[in-house]
Amino acid sequence: MKIVDGQVIVCSPGRNFVTLKLSTEDGLYGLGDATLNGRELAVASYLKEHVVPLLIGRDARRIEDTWQYLYKGAYWRRGPVTMAAISAVDTALWDVNGKALDTPVYQLLGGASRESVMVYGHANGRTIDDTVKAASRFLEQGYQAVRAQCAVPGLDATYGVGHAGAHYDPTDKGRPTESQWSTERYLDFVPGLFEKMRAELGPVPHLLHDVHHRLTPIEAARLGKSLEPYHLFWMEDAVPAELQEGFRTIRQHTTTPLAVGEVFNSIWDCHLLIEEQLIDYIRCSVVHAGGISHLRKIAALGEVHHVRTGCHGATDLSPVCLAAALHFDLAVHNFGIQEYIPHTEETDRVFPHRYRFEAGALHPGDAPGLGVDVDEALAARHPYARAYLPVSRKLDGTVHSW
Ligand code: GCO
Ligand code: MG
Is 163 tagged catalytic? no
pLDDT at residue 166, as a whole number: 58
pLDDT-based confidence at residue 322 (cuts at 50, 70, 90): very high
Which residue, judged by its Cα, is nearest atom 13 of ligand 1?
37
pLDDT at residue 165, as a whole number: 53
pLDDT at residue 172, as a whole number: 86
pLDDT at residue 294, as a whole number: 98
The residue from 122, 209, 212, 327 that is catalytic is 212
Q: Which of 388, 396, 392 is nearest to 180 (CA)?
A: 392
Percent over 90 (pLDDT), the chain: 96
302 has a pLDDT exceeding 60: yes
DSSP 231-269: --SEEE--S-TT-TTHHHHHHHH--S-EEE-TT--SGGG
Q: Is the CB of 37 under 6 A from ligand 1?
A: yes
Ligand 1: centre distance to CA 49 (Å): 28
**Is 202 in a helix, a strand, or coil?**
coil
For the CA of 237, the closest atom of ligand 1 is 9
pLDDT at residue 128, as a whole number: 98
DSSP 205-226: SEEEEE-TT---HHHHHHHHHH
- pLDDT 10s digits, 120-129: 999 999 999 9
The residue whose CB lies within 8 Å of the most ligand 1 atoms, and thus the one to mutate among 212, 287, 392, is 212
Which residue, judged by its Cα, is nearest atom 2 of ligand 1?
314
330 has a pLDDT exceeding 60: yes
Q: Is the CB of 70 under 6 A from ligand 1?
A: no
Q: Is the CB of 147 under 6 A from ligand 1?
A: no
What's the whole-number average pLDDT of the chain? Answer: 97
CA dist 329 to 179, 259, 353, Å? Answer: 35, 16, 17
Rg of the Cα atoms in the chain: 20
Q: Is the CB of 95 under 6 A from ligand 1?
A: no
User: Edge-to-edge strands of the sheet including 391-394?
Assistant: 178-181, 391-394, 399-400
SS percent in the chain: helix, strand, coil, step 5: 40, 20, 40
Q: Is the CB of 210 under 6 A from ligand 1?
A: yes
54 has a pLDDT exceeding 80: yes
Ligand 2: centre distance to CA 229 (Å): 22
Q: Residue 74: count other Cβ atoms within 10 Å of its Cβ.
A: 17
235 has a pLDDT exceeding 70: yes
Ligand 1: centre distance to CA 69 (Å): 30
Return d(Cα 207, Cα 234) in angstroms, integer: 7
Return d(Cα 162, Cα 95) in angstroms, integer: 34
Ligand 2: centre distance to CA 249 (Å): 21
pTM assigned to the model: 0.97
- For the segment 200-205, the average pLDDT, to the nearest whole number, is 98
Q: Are strands 361-363 and 356-358 parallel, antiparallel or unpaired?
A: antiparallel
Q: Is the CB of 40 under 6 A from ligand 1?
A: no
Q: Domain 3-103 classified CATH 3.30.70.1230?
A: no
- What letter would DSSP give residue 308? E
Ligand 1: centre distance to CA 314 (Å): 6
- Where are the domains positioned within the chain? 3-103, 108-368
Ligand 2: centre distance to CA 262 (Å): 6
Which residue, judged by its Cα, is nearest atom 1 of ligand 1?
314
**Weakest-pLDDT range from 34-38, 59-63, 166-170, 358-362:** 166-170
Class level of CATH domain 108-368: alpha beta
- pLDDT 10s digits, 348-377: 999 999 999 999 999 999 999 999 999 999
pLDDT at residue 163, as a whole number: 64
Q: Is the CB of 339 under 6 A from ligand 1?
A: yes
For the CA of 170, the closest atom of ligand 1 is 11
Return d(Cα 220, Cα 187) in angstroms, integer: 9
Q: Give 31's strand partners.
A: 21
The residue from 29, 71, 106, 159 that is catalytic is 159
Percent over 70 (pLDDT), the chain: 99
Q: Angle 72-74-78 (CA atoms, 0-180°, nearest 5)?
A: 75
Is 343 tagged catalytic? no
- What letter would DSSP give residue 48? I
Return d(Cα 31, Cα 364) in angstroms, integer: 15
- pLDDT 10s digits, 106-162: 999 999 999 999 999 999 999 999 999 999 999 999 999 999 999 999 999 999 998
CA dist 286 to 31, 270, 295, 324, 365, Å? Answer: 13, 15, 6, 7, 18
**CA atoms within 13 Å, Cβ hemisphere of 88:** 30
pLDDT at residue 99, as a whole number: 98
Q: Give 7's strand partners.
A: 21
